[in-house]
Structure formats: structure tokens, C-alpha cells
Structure 1
């Protein structure tokens, strides 16, 4: 082994560049963050050949004073932190003082700046093995321009790993879009090979902010999203979340910012996934543009060189806040609210239908369909011997009937004022025994009656279970689980939580547990694997929804079997009763599997189909 020696400044910077400069998009991220930290209100970006040949970023920020320019390209030189206290409350995007030095070591970099209060602009570049700065006068308005040419020209091994020009520019454009979403008050202009690609003006109002979100994420996202703004315990969450029906096949429209910094965090992803669990189709991904504002002292942004990850001081509190806020926002959306948000007002002459039968209003109702074997006398799901959810079974029987066709009929109240039309309107017909056609103030509403009834049944079953509670079933032979000591400690710490969900766990040794009781509804589940998975979640996220997810799967199956079937002919009164209950039921826009339950066609859309007015 050779003797220990100091690395040259250029080689040390090139090694550092391996952490933060992966491709042209990495360089653009660092340069744009510096411009934003400098207080820029306008940033112009010029690129050539995907950013490999040229990257030029010009801003109108505060600039760099001439005496500081020689330090600007030095490693570990920054104006953003002074001591450890500053590092614990980082309020800027960049703070390590490595970016410019790293980039200049693998490219031909020139920095030109004119600071506030100075008459003369200055330019600096580095030369030679020691990267000595060369400063000279230049012409430049207030602000800074950084020009990066021939990226990786002196590190060919890195350059050959770059992709095609189109791919590299796609990554670069995505970085610009992310930062444009993080700062609505700043104008962004992006050009590639002399062609304008993106031009975003400053957004100072909510309407202008929505317009920018539409420019970046597409107008369909803005039209199919909910506005979020909630605050609790020093945390504020605001932004936009897509409706479950506006999901994607991949997680490519998900932007989450913490104090203006774009991050991708497992804890955040888990909280969002939990919130959408009950309304998203299998294999689909939600869409969102969300901003979390917290005290900088309770979040550590210095856990990764690229600063894409953060660590929260109280991760569980953040997780619970994100989950509960999004879950409630999605649950509270009723069909009427979406109709009013999406369509212009209109008031055709619609006469109220005859008094409708309240399918679920009141203590009992007329059953819409045979329960198809769900919770009948001999069913394994609800034996009258006191097993779990016996009380819920009775509630179910009262709500949905037992297939005998008996049940009280409740009249729903007609509109109080003549001409007042409910959001989903009044049923006019049934199509092929599958769809309900209704007329509302905006046009035509089409409802998948089985999907809609399934959601209503499911929500009522969940409510019944919450009211009746979970009942445990003792195991004849307790199941032993071999775990790590850390997992067993976690189980003891959350013993009350497990008990609330119907589990009875007992520590048998430093690295073993015994499962003595489990929820009666889950008696067919793999209890050992379920406990293992739950403990994994608890240690990683501070919470777990696996037990609730298993319970909900069973309730969803019961709801599916207990809901009105296709080809079942309904009367107008029954159809109207279903529409009214949809308007009052949480998450009624999607069935239990995430499929939409209804759609609206406006008069304008119908007119276009038939070329009316042309």
C-alpha cells in the first residue's frame, strides 16, 4: 500500500461531485436553489444538447459582492450557515457549500455577478489542477449568471453513463417544474436549443397558483383535485390532491414539499397511501401537489447529500397529521360538491319526482336485493353464538333486510322549494338493469347502481363495527412467534393498541411472543405473519393499518354480496332513494374497489355530441 497523501483540490471536488452531480438535471437543481436562496424573482434557464453542452442560469437576485467571488467556487464555502445552531434550523435550500466547487471540477464553469449597491459586475472561473480562481471585470445587470459548459469533459467515464439528449432534458425539465411549484412568486423561463419550452409568470393569487399547477401538472389535474388547507399542532398542510378517479398507473404526478423543499420520503408516502386505501383501484397511484410547513428545528434536512430525504423529530405525529387530513378531505367529498365545482350553473325546468323511498334513511328500509347469502342464518360470518360483529350483523339485517322482502318503508322529503333539484337529480330510467339515468340541473347523471350501493353498504358496515366494537376469540393453542428483541419491545410498548384491535400478546422471553387472542373476524388469517408485518410498520412508521385493512377487506366482501345486483329492476322510488343516500355517504364517488360510481354529462357536452348550435 502506498503512503498517505493529500488529494489535490480538483480530485477531491471531483469525488464530491460523484455524490451530487449525477447528470445535467443535478446541476440545474443546485444552481436554481442558489438563485432562489438569493431572493430572485425571475430565473432564465438556457440549455443545449440536454444540458451537456450548455447550462446557463440567470437570475435577478442579490448577487455576490466582488470580495466574495474567489470563495464562491471553493469547497465548504457558504453564506447560509455559520455554526451548528444554524445547521439545526436550516431555512435555505442549499447550505453545504459544495455544489459550485463540485460542478466546476467536472465542467467549464463561469460565474458572473453584480451585487446590490455595486456599480461594477465581476466574473470568476477556476483554472488548473489547484482550481485557482481567476477574477476579472464584466458587464452584467444586478443578479448572477452561472454558465456551465461541456459537462464531464474531463471525466469521460462519467459522461458515457449519460442517456440520450431527450432523456437528459426530460430529467432537467422535471427539476425545473418541481422548483417552479415550490415558489409560485418566482417567474421561470426554460429554453432548449434556442426553443422556448416553459414560460411561467409569477403567481400571487390563488387563481394564478392554480394556473401554474395546471401548466406543470396538466389542466385535468386541477379540474379533478381537491384543495387542502389544514393546520394543527404547529403543522400546516396545504395544496391539491387528485380525486381517486384521477389516479395514475405510476407514481409520476406526486409532488411533496417540506418548507419549500421537494422531498421523497417513505413516511410521507405511507401516510398518503393509507389515506387513499379505501378509494383507490388496485395498482393505481394517487396524484398530489402538497406543501407541509413545519418549524425548521423539528426537521433534519441534512441526512442525504442530495437533500431529497428528511427526518422528522416526531415522525408519528407528522404521519398521523398527514393521514387524518387527507383521509377526512377525501371522505367529506359528496357527489353534490363535485357537481357544483365542475359545472357552470344551469336551471332547466325539472319537476320533482314522486316521493322516493329512503333506501337507508331511518332505522329500517326496503331491501333492494337479496343479500346473496351474506349473514343468513347458517352463514359462517355471523353465527348467533356471540362471535365477532354479532351486533353488527343485527344492524345489517335491520338496514338491508334478510331477503324476505319485508321492511318498513320511509318516505324521503321532497324539495322544500319548487325547482330545487338535488345534486344527483331525479331518476328517469334504468338502463339494462345496470345503470340509473338521472336528470339534474346540469344535464345527465349516470350511476352504476351496484357500485354505488356497495359503497353505501360498506360505509354502514364500518360504522356498525365501530359502534359494536371488535370481539376477540381465544386460541385453543397459543401461537408462538420468534422475533428480535427490538420487535418484542415494540409489541410491549404498543400492547394497549393491540388489545384495542382484538389481539392479546404475551411476552414469553427476550425474543419471543405468544398470540393468545385475535379478532374473531380474522380467525382464518395467518396471525403470525400479520403480527410480524404490523410490528415492522410500527417500527418504521410509528403506526400500522394492516389489521384494519384486513378487517375492511372482509367488510368490503360482505358489502359486495349484500348489494343490489345487476339486472335487478328498481322502481323510480328505489332509484331516487339510492341517489339521495349517495349524496349523504362518505366516499360515495367510488366503490370499495376504487371504481367510479357515477359520472356527469353536462348539457354542453350532450349538445356537442349531436352538433347542436353549429
Structure 2
């Protein structure tokens, strides 16, 4: 094939691929244009997750009518004039590629009016081509509508996720800019409903409350905008969470350089390092940090989306962020623990004697309704995972298993419990050692997944509980109301970023429903790549993990019997929903071999 110049429409679509990855990419570019135009009021509207419609309206300076067509040409910009200016970029956009890329893969309507002109102009474009242009009365500012994204590139369109997933990405973009620009009023309308709005007063804490909710914001510590002695040109400010507030991953650490959102693994690690010894392994802080520095010390022209940047002195910046966050944490009254000497052998024997007595008593009687055998003994298990209600008795016999014969369990007889974690059971083919937590996870998972045929038992709350989750987590919960209801949670919207909880699963007991829903929402955020049935299964798996009996929970003989009975009824009793084994099987022949009885 000979070398040739690509046709303009093909070149435009290729260039658009670097800038427009999904609807959220369009929203990001349009918001940045509005901010660069000096807007103080920005409204974002979407339909069908941004696939069918994206509209961004602002009250910025607008575009002069004569320059409006030029705005959609590649490399046309009002923000820089020379290569030297790339060394000190002070605007969010500067390449002049965004509008050209967006118009290449969508149907665009632009209505804009410059403050210096009495009338505005309307342009309509399809596939980079202007199909109409006419004068139009309009307030100062710009309204840009992007319809039918990727209408002319179906290969790109098929890679988009569900409407809910794409809307979640857009919500993340809007909330990030709302945090970085508290003086701008942001309104976010999804599917015709106002889901998020900031006051635009310049109060960064007010924006934080709108994004994360009052409860989370109340646990955030202010990071003062003081310069570090080693890096006097760098100022770090914002908010970091108290050690009592933490999340399961690093995605709640938001970093901004000169009010531009960035992703930087080293700076994220600097924040995490500041919490060394303050958080458990596997837990991470919530942080919103703003790094202000001379523009010549950072290169933002290294990535198509400008979310990755290059610093002139990365190691000094790392230390500045770490020290600043550490100083904010030092203002807290740290939770200190006195170091205890290791227990002596006599202590171990005394603890086991008390535990043995508790285990003996636990097996002598059935628990009263709602009572846990765990109440009998707590001392050496206090540091274990928090307790959850035990398996509820069911009057009806379990339905026959439909699993393949190789997966079914034979009738088992409970023998006892070991280490308050494993059940020992006898079957016709040998001994079974059952992980009580994994087994209960499997039981709950299959019950919830079959809730369409047999509704999950629910517990009506005496009074509905208001739960505040913040805009982002509330949006994730909104996407999965049906699946949550199927799991036993009856919740309904209750204002911006809040829900009203009316019922919980009957087996939930005394667990904190807000903590559970937050954990579920965070898990959904981590699994944004999943869609439809796979995402519902992931949600149910997370709920089961939280609600299942924990290691360290003492069960009476009756409770052991009931747990095993329900496990026998499962279609896949040998693995938990995460794929881990629920049991180990030691055959009678293997036992005889270990004791040297073969051939005796």
C-alpha cells in the first residue's frame, strides 16, 4: 500500500480518539473551556449517560460571532501565541484541539454571545462540518450541546459502558472541578433531575460538604496553605481525613496542581506515607489537596488528557506534600496505645481455660432469639472482626439442590467447632472441616440471587434512618436500588446525596447500615468496569462478605447444625462467592492411612 495523506475526515476522527474517550472526556473539555472563559456559573446536563446528550452552559466571556466557526478548527486557540508560552501555561486548555475533536464524532450545536456584542450566533455542526450558522439572541456566555456522541464511529460507540457507568464518570469530573473552583456555581442535571449543585461562594468547605456529605466533611482536617522551607515556591492546601476516616483504596485521594486535576502515583504515595502507623494496612485516607506552584516548574503538555504532568523537582515536591499532610495530622490528638508485654505461657493456659469453658457452655443450650453465643466469651476475640447475626432458622425445608452430583454435599453431622472459626462435621465419606464465614457467604449469596423466586426476609425499622453518603457514593447507590432492594435494603432518595433506609435484611442484626452501604458503594466504584449482571453479582458478593458470620464467632450446636443444613441446600456449597473453598474434606481412607490402620 503506497504512502498517502489521509483524508481530513479520517485524520479528524483519529485525532478525536486521543481527546474524546467517553462522554466524561467531552464534559471535562467543555468545563475547562468555561473556566478559562471566566465563567462563575456552569450548568452540565446529560441524557443517557451523555451518549445521547451533553450540554454545558456558562456565563463566561463568550465567543465573538466572527470567531465562532474558527473555534472548531484544529489547533485554533485564544490561549497561547508562541512556543515560549508553553513554559508557563496558566489556562486549563491550550492546544486548540478539543472542540475540533468533539465536533468530529458528534452533532454539535453552539450558541454563544460575546459580552461586547449585542446579539449572539448559533452554529450547527455534524462530523466537523458546519451545516448552519445564524444570528441568535442569547445572554452573554456559551451553551454547547453535544448530541449522539460517536454517531459516525460505531466501533468507538460499542466500547462505551452502561448509561449509569458513564454518568458516574461524568459526576466524578463535575465534582472534581467543583472542589477546585469553589467560587464557581456548578449545577449537574442527569436525566432531567438536578443531582448536584454548589453554592459558588468561594467557600471550599461548603463545596466539600456538597461533594462528600456533611458527615465525611466533618471528619476532614484543614491543610493550611503554608509554604515549605525546602520548597518555598510550593504551597499545599486542602483537606485530609482524620485517622478515624479511611477507605479501602487510594481513589479518594484527589490531587490538583494549579487547580488542574492530576494523577500522580508518587504524590499519592506521599499522602499515604504521611499516615504511616496511623492507618491499618490496606486502608487509605480521604484527601483533597491543592498544590500551587509557578507554572514553569510543571509541564502539563505531556499527556493527551493533561491528567499526567511532569515536575521539575519531583522529589522535593514529594517531601513537601508528605510534610504538610503530616503537620495537619499532628494537630490531632493521636490515639495511642501502651505497649503490652507478650503474654506468658501461664497467660495462654488461663485464656484457653476460660475459652474452653465458654465453648462447653455454648454447646449446652440453644440461643435465645437474637442472642449470640459470642456473648458468653469476648476477651481474647475482641480484636477479631466484628460480629454479625447468626443464621436464622427457617421453618420450611430447603429446596432440593440442582447442582451437579459432584458438587453436592452428603448429609453431614456437626461434631463441633474449632478456633471459633471452623466447623467439624462427619459425613458418610469422611470428615469435613468447614470455614463458617465462607459457608455463610455462600448461603447468603444464593438466597439473595434467588430472591426473584423467594423474596428475602426483611426487618422493618421502627423509624426510617436517614443516611448521608455524599454526591458520588449516592450516585453509585442510585444505580443499584433494585439490587439493594432484592438484598433486603429498602431505601429511597431523601434529598441531595442522602437516602432514607426503611428496611434491612432480617439477618443483619446490629450492624451499621450506613457503614455497609458506604462499603458497598466504594466497592462498586472499584468495579466500574463490570456491567449489568456481573456488577449485580459483585454487589451481592460484597453484601454477603459484610453480613456473613465472622471468624471468631462462637456457635452453639444448634447453630452449627442450622448452618450446615443450609449449606447442604446450596447449589455450589464447596466455594464461597469469591471462589475460595468453604471446606476441606478428609476421607475415611485418608484418616486410616494417617493412623496406620490400612491393612490392619
**TM-score, normalised relative to structure 2:** 0.55
Post-superposition offset of 1:251: 2.4
**1:242-321 equivalences in 2 (<5 Å):** 242-321=241-320
| 1:388 aligned partner | none
Output the CA distance in 2 between the equivalents of 1:369 and 1:260.
47
- Report runs of 4+ in structure 1 exceeding 4 Å deviation: 368-373, 431-435
Output the CA distance in 1 between the equivalents of 2:266 and 2:341.
43
Equivalent residues, number: 345
TM-superposition CA deviations, 1:182-230 (whole Å, max 9, x none): 10000011111211111211123xxx42122011022222111111012
Task: Please give the secondary structure, in 2, of the residue aligned with 1:246.
Answer: coil
In structure 1, list runs of 5 or more residues that go unmatched.
Answer: 339-358, 361-367, 374-430, 436-614
| 1:25 aligned partner | 24
- Kept in 1, the 8 Å contact 2:253–2:268? The answer is no
- Structure 1 stretch displaced more, 66-75 or 271-280: 271-280
| 1:171 aligned partner | 169
Task: Please give the secondary structure, in 2, of the residue aligned with 1:255.
Answer: strand
- Kept in 2, the 8 Å contact 1:113–1:145? The answer is yes
TM-superposition CA deviations, 1:488-507 (whole Å, max 9, x none): xxxxxxxxxxxxxxxxxxxx
Post-superposition offset of 1:116: 1.3
| 1:597 aligned partner | none
Post-superposition offset of 1:80: 0.5
In structure 2, list runs of 5 or more residues that go unmatched.
Answer: 345-377, 383-600
Output the CA distance in 2 between the equivalents of 1:264 and 1:228.
20
- Kept in 1, the 8 Å contact 2:109–2:145? The answer is yes
**1:58-207 equivalences in 2 (<5 Å):** 58-127=57-126, 131-132=129-130, 134-204=132-202
- Kept in 1, the 8 Å contact 2:208–2:217? The answer is yes
Task: Please give the secondary structure, in 1, of the residue aligned with 2:329.
Answer: helix
TM-superposition CA deviations, 1:525-550 (whole Å, max 9, x none): xxxxxxxxxxxxxxxxxxxxxxxxxx
| 1:47 aligned partner | 46
| 1:583 aligned partner | none
- Kept in 2, the 8 Å contact 1:47–1:54? The answer is yes
**1:200-239 equivalences in 2 (<5 Å):** 200-204=198-202, 208-229=203-224, 230-232=226-228, 233-239=232-238
- Structure 1 stretch displaced more, 302-311 or 318-327: 318-327
Post-superposition offset of 1:286: 1.3
TM-superposition CA deviations, 1:537-566 (whole Å, max 9, x none): xxxxxxxxxxxxxxxxxxxxxxxxxxxxxx
Query: CA 1:78–1:432 in 2, change beyond 3 Å: closer, same or farther?
Result: same
Is the counterpart of residue 8 in structure 1 residue 3 in structure 2? no
Output the CA distance in 1 between the equivalents of 2:340 and 2:152.
74
**1:203-602 equivalences in 2 (<5 Å):** 203-204=201-202, 208-229=203-224, 230-232=226-228, 233-334=232-333, 370=341
Output the CA distance in 1 between the equivalents of 2:150 and 2:25.
13
- Kept in 1, the 8 Å contact 2:107–2:126? The answer is no
- Kept in 2, the 8 Å contact 1:217–1:253? The answer is no
| 2:546 aligned partner | none
Task: Please give the secondary structure, in 1, of the residue aligned with 2:96.
Answer: coil
TM-superposition CA deviations, 1:124-181 (whole Å, max 9, x none): 23356x7357432122110001010000111001111111111111111111101111
Query: CA 1:369–1:245 in 2, change beyond 3 Å: closer, same or farther?
Result: closer
Task: Please give the secondary structure, in 2, of the residue aligned with 1:10.
Answer: helix
Output the CA distance in 1 between the equivalents of 2:209 and 2:327.
24
Task: Please give the secondary structure, in 1, of the residue aligned with 2:15.
Answer: helix
TM-superposition CA deviations, 1:52-76 (whole Å, max 9, x none): 1111111000001112112100001
Post-superposition offset of 1:372: 5.5
TM-superposition CA deviations, 1:410-434 (whole Å, max 9, x none): xxxxxxxxxxxxxxxxxxxxx9799
Output the CA distance in 2 between the equivalents of 1:52 and 1:127.
15
| 2:408 aligned partner | none
Query: CA 1:63–1:434 in 2, change beyond 3 Å: closer, same or farther?
Result: same
Output the CA distance in 1 between the equivalents of 2:5 and 2:380.
81
- Structure 1 stretch displaced more, 69-78 or 250-259: 250-259
Output the CA distance in 1 between the equivalents of 2:126 and 2:163.
28
TM-superposition CA deviations, 1:16-69 (whole Å, max 9, x none): 111111111110000000000000010111111111111111100000111211
Query: CA 1:281–1:139 in 2, change beyond 3 Å: closer, same or farther?
Result: same
